[in-house]
């Protein structure tokens, strides 16, 4: 979506990428881009949430550090506002703009959309942009199947590597809805998997280290030539429901203890 198509909406605000997250080596060629999509609200005319933006920065710094050798650049998208706002799908439109802006800035490099909550929905919806190679949706907010006018689309996920991560005790976004979407997506896109974080909530704080390690493994494996960790490779290869209810093991990503 062209930038000009977004100007004049959401109170005259425009989306922005801003500065990259985390340190990078000057002169290093950019090999890939991660776009962080913060949480939002179903309906709102207010500006983008500073708190939601800040909440994704620790993950962004972790990803930037993990991918520094590959020239990975991470940006947190600053939406025009915090509301999805029905058919406007404003956050998804801003995510699509951000993918186009990444191409404008860095050229033909692979892009991974990483979103939390309503940002997870935006990441899934904006996956159809030609620059997007992978999507990581953390506790995505999705509409109830029997309330939405149409089922949440999954066709745009074909050809992308998709990982959905959800805490089983999430009281804000229903984990079962993300399972149903993953189940539909898997029928046309085998490179779809979903992990469950036992007893964790919407913010995925209880197993933050494991969540960040899983995110880094997925991003490096999807954008570059890094092999996936065994649980990720198994989840992608397994048929439903196994590959869509894969438990995120405590200690994932940590080096084994020496005896």
Would you state the pLDDT for residue 47? 84
Q: What is the DSSP letter of 66?
A: H
> Where are the chain's structural domains?
29-247
Would you state the pLDDT for residue 164? 98
Q: Would you state the CATH architecture of domain 29-247? A: 3-Layer(aba) Sandwich (3.40)
pLDDT in tens, 51-110: 999 999 999 999 999 999 999 999 999 999 999 988 889 999 999 999 999 999 999 999
pLDDT in tens, 159-214: 999 999 999 999 999 999 999 999 999 999 999 999 999 999 999 999 999 999 99
Place of tokens 């605000």: 13
Is residue 4 over pLDDT 70?
no
Q: Which pTM was predicted?
A: 0.92
* Rg for the chain, CA atoms, rounded: 17
Mapping DSSP to helix (H, G, I), strand (E, B) and coil, where does residue 251 land? coil
| Alpha-helix residue ranges (DSSP H) falling in 37-166 | 50-55, 57-66, 90-106, 118-125
pLDDT band at 42 (very low <50, low <70, confident <90, very high): confident
Would you state the pLDDT for residue 2? 40
Is residue 147 over pLDDT 80?
no
pLDDT in tens, 231-256: 999 999 999 999 999 999 999 988 76
pLDDT band at 3 (very low <50, low <70, confident <90, very high): very low
Question: How far is Cα 131 from Cα 257, in angstroms, rounded to an integer?
Answer: 40
Would you state the pLDDT for residue 7? 34
């Amino acid at each position: 979506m062209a930038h000009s198509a977004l100007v004049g909406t959401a109170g005259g605000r425009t989306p922005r990428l801003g500065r990259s997250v985390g340190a990078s080596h000057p002169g290093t060629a950019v090999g890939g881009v991660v776009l962080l999509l913060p949480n939002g609200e179903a309906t709102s005319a207010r500006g983008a949430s500073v708190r939601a933006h800040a909440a994704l920065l620790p993950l962004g710094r972790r990803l930037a550090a993990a991918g520094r050798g590959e020239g990975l650049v991470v940006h947190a998208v600053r939406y025009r506002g915090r509301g999805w706002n029905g058919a406007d799908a404003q956050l998804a439109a801003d995510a699509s703009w951000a993918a186009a802006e990444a191409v404008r800035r860095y050229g033909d490099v692979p892009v991974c959309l990483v979103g939390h909550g309503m940002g997870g929905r935006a990441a899934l919806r904006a996956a159809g942009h030609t620059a997007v190679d992978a999507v990581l949706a953390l506790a995505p907010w999705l509409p109830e199947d029997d309330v939405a006018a149409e089922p949440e689309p999954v066709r745009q996920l074909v050809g992308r590597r998709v990982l959905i991560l959800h805490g089983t005790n999430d009281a804000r976004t229903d984990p079962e809805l993300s399972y149903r979407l993953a189940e539909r997506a898997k029928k046309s896109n085998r490179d779809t998997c979903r992990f469950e974080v036992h007893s964790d909530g919407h913010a995925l704080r209880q197993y933050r280290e494991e969540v960040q390690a899983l995110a880094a493994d997925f991003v490096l494996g999807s954008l570059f030539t890094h092999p996936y960790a065994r649980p990720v490779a198994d989840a992608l290869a397994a048929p439903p429901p196994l590959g869509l209810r894969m438990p995120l093991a405590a200690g994932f990503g940590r080096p084994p203890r020496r005896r």
